[in-house]
Amino acid sequence: MLNVGVIGASGYGGGELLRLLSRHPQAQIACAVSETYAGKPISTAFPGLLTLPELRFTSGGGGAELAECDVVFLAQENGKAMHAVAPLLSAGSKVIDLSADFRFRDPDVYAHWYGAAHAAPEWNARAVYGLPELHRDAIREAQLIGNPGCYPTATILGLAPIVQHKLVSVESLLVDAKSGVSGAGRAKFSLDYHYPEMNESVSAYKTSGTHRHTPEIEQALSALAGLNSTFPLTFTPHLIPMTRGILATCYGTLAEAASAEELLGVYREFYADAPFVRIVEDHLPATKHTLGTNYCQIGLSVDSRNNRVTVVSCIDNLVKGAAGQAIQNMNLMCGIEETVGLGLGGIWP
């Protein structure tokens, strides 16, 4: 049985980690750190977790319980993890960071997009980007994982097969993505997230290549395309008035004419060994189809008039886009079957 700790446990990502870990047959929550709720029951922050009455939040880094954890999840805001990992890793814990601190191969890219020099470049060089569908073998050997962002997870999974097989011109790629409000995190209190401002409205934000997830997507897709440098991606995110879910609609010009059936065959082969990717053929996926699950559903269509493909990729931003993917990484790192604790289907209706 793995002893597991969660730092930053009172945020949405931390709460989803606690919910999923409480059902995991081979892991037990030894420590949940939150300065805001220190000393209080887990259910104070997450009333839905009344099933864990014995578990209370701790503070001050978690103390002895955290030091004895086999795996530690860092669910804090950007800029925290790079200061926290060294003692955890030196103590022998495996660490999975849900922030952006260890997602980039080049620490200068992180510094540019997140406004601070990387404090642990030596560990950054050893971190593995935790997208299991692309890096499963490396994750199994890793001690430190940079868990992917939610928009990048949906987008990269949606485009990986046709980019790697050079079936699409990378310069032509456009991504229009929409996210539920929980993607902003629990501490987001700006006016845009107030109910009267957000309700019955859809808005674009961080346009023209300014969203922080853009370089993460570019890094992964450029590597898949076999390029020595990254290419600029047109990525436009939108805020939509629902709690959770991401729908990424990706457009690209085909390198050669191909039918939807031919491309679906490429996707089925590419993800043949990916238990959490489902290629759908009789419909296009919707956020409701993946609600509460660790699955990514992908569908596509081809417009033969202009030789362009439209790929629709859908995930739950808090599960496959955050906590569920982190647990998937834990399973791989610890020699546990990849799907353990994550096999539940979606919530419907």
Are 53 and 102 in the same domain? yes
Per-residue model confidence (pLDDT) at position 62: 58
Are 112 and 160 in the same domain? no
Q: Is residue 178 domain-resident?
A: yes
What's phi and psi for 299, nearest 5 deg?
A: -135, 165
Query: Could you report how far apart the first and last alpha carbons of the chain are, in Å?
Result: 35
Per-residue model confidence (pLDDT) at position 166: 98
The pair of three-digit structure tokens given for residue 162, joined into one six-digit string? 């046709």
Written as one letter, the residue type at 219 is: Q
Are 118 and 163 in the same domain? no
Domain end marker among 110, 126, 142: 126
Are 101 and 158 in the same domain? no
Domain carrying residue 277 = 151-317
Catalytic center residues? 150
pTM of the predicted model as reported, rounded to 2 decimal places: 0.97
47: domain CATH number is: 3.40.50.720
What's phi and psi for 186, nearest 5 deg?
A: -80, -25
Are 107 and 163 in the same domain? no
Q: Is residue 312 domain-resident?
A: yes
Are 120 and 30 in the same domain? yes
Are 61 and 179 in the same domain? no
Are 46 and 163 in the same domain? no
Q: What is the pLDDT of residues 276-329, one digit of tens each?
A: 999 999 889 999 999 999 999 999 999 999 999 999 999 999 999 999 999 999
Cα 303 to Cα 46, 259, 260: the distances in Å are 46, 9, 9
Q: Is residue 48 domain-resident?
A: yes
Q: Is residue 294 domain-resident?
A: yes
Check residue 284 and report its DSSP letter: -
Are 26 and 156 in the same domain? no
Task: Kindly give the confidence (pLDDT) of every residue in the chain, 349 residues in length, as a single tens digit, with 9 standing for 90 and above.
Answer: 999 999 999 999 999 999 999 999 999 999 999 999 999 999 999 999 998 888 999 987 656 788 899 999 999 999 999 999 999 999 999 999 999 999 999 999 999 999 999 999 999 999 999 999 999 999 999 999 999 999 999 999 999 999 999 999 999 999 999 999 999 888 766 888 888 988 999 999 999 999 999 999 999 999 999 999 889 999 999 999 999 999 999 999 999 999 999 999 999 999 999 999 999 998 899 999 999 999 999 999 999 999 999 999 999 999 999 999 999 999 999 999 999 999 988 888 8
Per-residue model confidence (pLDDT) at position 337: 98
Residue whose tokens read 């446990």: 9
Task: Provide the domain count of the chain.
Answer: 2
Per-residue model confidence (pLDDT) at position 188: 67
| Signed CA dihedral, 247, 248, 249, 255: sign only | negative
Q: Is residue 75 domain-resident?
A: yes
Per-residue model confidence (pLDDT) at position 111: 97
Are 295 and 216 in the same domain? yes
266: domain CATH number is: 3.30.360.10
Are 88 and 202 in the same domain? no
Are 106 and 171 in the same domain? no
What's phi and psi for 214, nearest 5 deg?
A: -60, -50
Q: Is residue 325 domain-resident?
A: no
